[in-house]
A and B are shown apart, each in its own frame.
Chain A
Amino acid sequence: MSNQSKKKQNAYSVGARKKAFPWIVPFASVRLTLTLLSFSMILIFVATLEQVRIGIRGAQAEYFESFYGIWYYPEQFWGGSFLSMVPLPIPGGYLLGGLLIINLIAAFITRFQWSGKKMGIQIIHLGIILLLIGQMTTQAIQVESRMQINKGESSDYIERFHGVELAITDVTDANRSKVVSIPEQLLTPGNTLRVPGFPFKVRVQSFGPNCNFDFKESADQRSEITRVVNQGIGASANLSLTPMDEDFSNDAANFGYLVFQLINGSEEMGTWLAVAHPAGNDRWKFIHAKLEGMSFQPLRHQGKLWGMELRSIREYLPYSIELVKIENEFYQGTDIPHNFESHVNLNLESGQKRKALVYMNTPLRHRGKTFYQYQMNKAADYTVFQVIRNPSWLVPYIACILLSVGLLWQFSFHLIYFLRKQSKVSG
């Protein structure tokens, strides 16, 4: 071996790498790995317990999609009457995941031997790092929405499962409608918003993710939040509402609400109430005829007609999906479905039409979005797709391939070594 190649080998030795990156060494500790894995187990245990109380979505948001969560020991457990009063901070998914990634990368750099003999181990760990990064990226950028289509109709928009927006639509033009949407993050009580292209300022009075509502005989009987409402459906129907916490359970139906004022210059034009129906505002008519107008609270000004509504955050697509036929099959003699099918036409932006069949575990993929069969109502002739946008969807696949290659490499290496040893012994 020449001096040059020896030097090169030394440069990549564990000792040389430790010298080059001394500040990384503490992060590569096996103790840290074990501590983080132990905390991960605690996190999973706590989140599983909490799932019963706040639902999957709530547990996910509180413990996994956060840097830390606060847990209260269950009252019904041993010593619960006392311990349940103590808030216990639990490291969240982002913190543990992030630290595990750093720990693995640090170990990769300063602890692992970079040799052919250990190549399989390195590839396996690289796969694990990718899995962790892929999961965190997915949590950060994946968007889940729904698309509901009535049979014979088509839809060109999707709506988020969580989160609402105030949409103000100018419908005066027969050929196109202008939409101004204000996301819920800006609907903070006390906020006054100047809305581009809309003649009035919007002042937020109250906003909440969920409410209970009721009709009252007279305006005075309404709750304090809604007593100020003097325009639109809220006023004409004498709607009274009580704010509620957001429900994270699986069958949650959150009715987001917004009480807002419109201001023309310095003149107050009135106060409106808007409530978002979780299944889409076209469903209001099925609750009560008086609420049908909640999907379009009109406002006429200077020759223009605007419609206002609070609705699930909506995203319009450059293509549409038409529902041609729906089918559902049940296990014989039961009401348990074993298959939902939606026959659809994908109307592409180019004007072309593509037929597709969407059924359980066989989604339709188009332009970075995946449409899964989610719900179906054959009696009402509509289907609902769960729409996922996840640019990092390939990462887990690549990670799994790396893990497989690493395992294959490592086992093959040991197998060949073993076979050679055996042949030498027998020889």
Chain B
Amino acid sequence: MPFHIPKIYITGTVKLLLFPLFCFVSCTEEAEIQTYYIAPEYTGPVVAWKLPPTWGENPELSGPMAGSFHVKTNSGPQGRIGVMPFREAVSTLAITNMFGMELGYEKFTEDTLPHVLTTKTVGQKKFEWIHLTEKNNPNDPKMALLAVFRQQDETWLFPFVANAALINQEMDSFISFLDSTTVRAGEKIIRAPRPISAAPTSKPSGSPTWDAPDHWVVGQASSVRIASYSVSDENGNELDFSITSFPGDVGGLQSNVNRWLTQIELPKAESLESSPYLSPYKIDEKDAYLLLAENTEKTIYGALLFGKSRSWFFKIMGDTTLAKVEKENFLNLLSSVCFHDH
């Protein structure tokens, strides 16, 4: 008589035998590309736009620009279009005067500003629209079209500077560009990514090394701003320290000294020889200049070194009380600078 095993017993045994194999096969994770959404984590600035087909991106960003563009024409790149962020609310009057002076306008006041100011709604955004036309060149006047966008405490300026004909020609592109922008200030320094077609920037050759005090907080560096530190005290006073480098002499000693003096609202120096703020100095055995200037609220200490092919600027600026405390640290840093070339 054939031997019969209960069916349940067979299946149970087979399952038991196959269990380890099943575990290995079924539990192995398969590698695949995943897409999912999360709550925002990125705390940096967001600056994005769609570029009109007739425009190109400038590879190098200057000053506070978060984006810089030109119009592609048969005679090469023309005009300057930019995205300029301000962390705080900046007055329309200040912005208008910044460009107006360059175009030959008298300083605007609250009374004269409405002559050049209107508002314009582009998509969901409302812009202050400032139209400035060069005063002294009626044949081919230069124009500055300034679009100012305000969002919470942030101010975003989109300047378009070119000759009037080009601006009029590119008006639709400018408006569609403004419509496409997404701008949001973050906790970090606002600085747009370089356009992806741009050649890489590198740290200038012959960059120095230095020793910074331990309590100085390292900030964001860039191709121009070689080093960045911030210092603050318990009262909320702040100082900003930077080391910047540019090719050439960027206007020379006088223009740079005057630029710094105006940053703390001191009068420009007519003659550097008689300037109470400037004195000769040595940085790593190289001839340089030391600037120590202050008023009751703001102070600027700086050193200017003009090399054969590059200029180096070491500057600390901010609250006067804190600057006095940090002056020795600043001078110690200068004495620690080494170019490793001798």
Contacts and interface: CB of A to CB of B under 8 A. Distances in A.
B23 A105 contact: no
A180 B33 contact: yes
B27 A303 contact: no
Contact of B200 (A101, A136, A156, A219): A219
Nearest to A171: B42
Contacts of B8: none
A363 interface: no
B203 interface: yes
Where chain B touches its partner, the secondary structure class is loop
Given A174-B184, A217-B205, A218-B202, A197 B37 contact: no
Greatest chain A CB density within 10 A among B33, B44, B218 is at: B33
B3 A177 contact: no
Given A20-B3, A218-B202, A231 B196 contact: yes
Interface string B26-47: 0110011111111111101011
A231 B200 contact: yes
Interface stretch (A35-43, A49-57, A284-292): A284-292
B38 A180 contact: no
A299 B196 contact: yes
B48 interface: yes
Greatest chain A CB density within 10 A among B44, B48, B180 is at: B48
Interface in A142-194: 156, 169, 171-186, 193
Given A20-B3, A304-B48, A136 B42 contact: no
A183 B32 contact: yes
B13 A109 contact: yes
A236 B33 contact: no
Nearest to B47: A305
Interface string B181-214: 1101000000011011101111101000000000
Given A136-B20, A289-B220, A316 B38 contact: yes
A146 B37 CA distance: 21
A300 B4 CA distance: 72
A11 B5 contact: yes
Contacts of B44: 296
A98 to B, nearest CB: 6
A253 interface: no
Interface in A102-158: 102, 105, 109, 133, 136-137, 140-141, 156
Given A177-B42, A183-B32, A296-B44, A238 B193 contact: no
Nearest to A166: B33
A289 B218 contact: yes
Given A105-B17, A141-B23, A181 B33 contact: yes
A169 B3 contact: no
B36 A179 contact: yes
What is the interface residue range for chain A against chain B? 35 or more
A269 B38 contact: no
A19 interface: yes
A142 to B, nearest CB: 10
A243 interface: no
Given A181-B33, A230-B200, A16 B38 contact: no
B23 A136 contact: yes
Nearest to A234: B200
A231 B202 CA distance: 11
A172 B186 CA distance: 12
Given A20-B5, A133-B20, A290-B221, A172 B46 contact: yes
Contacts of B42: 169, 171, 177, 296, 307
B16 A105 contact: yes
B234 to A, nearest CB: 19
A396 interface: no
A176 B33 contact: no
B301 to A, nearest CB: 22
A301 B3 CA distance: 74
A300 B37 contact: no
A303 B49 contact: yes
Nearest to B182: A172
A288 to B, nearest CB: 9
Interface string B142-171: 000000000000000000000000000000
A171 B47 contact: no
A174 B48 CA distance: 12
B218 A285 contact: yes
A171 B50 contact: no
Given A102-B17, A303-B48, A235 B200 contact: yes
Contact of A289 (B32, B47, B221): B221
B35 A196 contact: yes
A87 interface: no
Interface string A253-290: 00000000010000001100000000000000100011
Interface of B: 3-5, 13, 16-17, 19-20, 23-24, 27-28, 31-42, 44, 46-50, 180-182, 184, 192-193, 195-197, 199-203, 205, 218-221, 223, 227-228
19 contacts: A140-B23, A140-B24, A178-B35, A178-B37, A179-B34, A183-B32, A183-B33, A186-B31, A195-B33, A230-B199, A235-B202, A289-B228, A296-B42, A300-B49, A300-B193, A300-B195, A301-B196, A304-B48, A305-B48
Given A136-B24, A290-B221, A303-B182, 9 more contacts: A109-B13, A136-B23, A177-B37, A178-B36, A218-B202, A236-B223, A270-B196, A303-B180, A305-B193
A-B pairs with lowest CB-CB distance, top 3: A235-B200, A298-B193, A185-B31
Interface of A: 11, 16, 19-20, 94, 98, 101-102, 105, 109, 133, 136-137, 140-141, 156, 169, 171-186, 193, 195-197, 217-219, 230-231, 235-238, 262, 269-270, 285, 289-290, 292, 296, 298-305, 307, 316
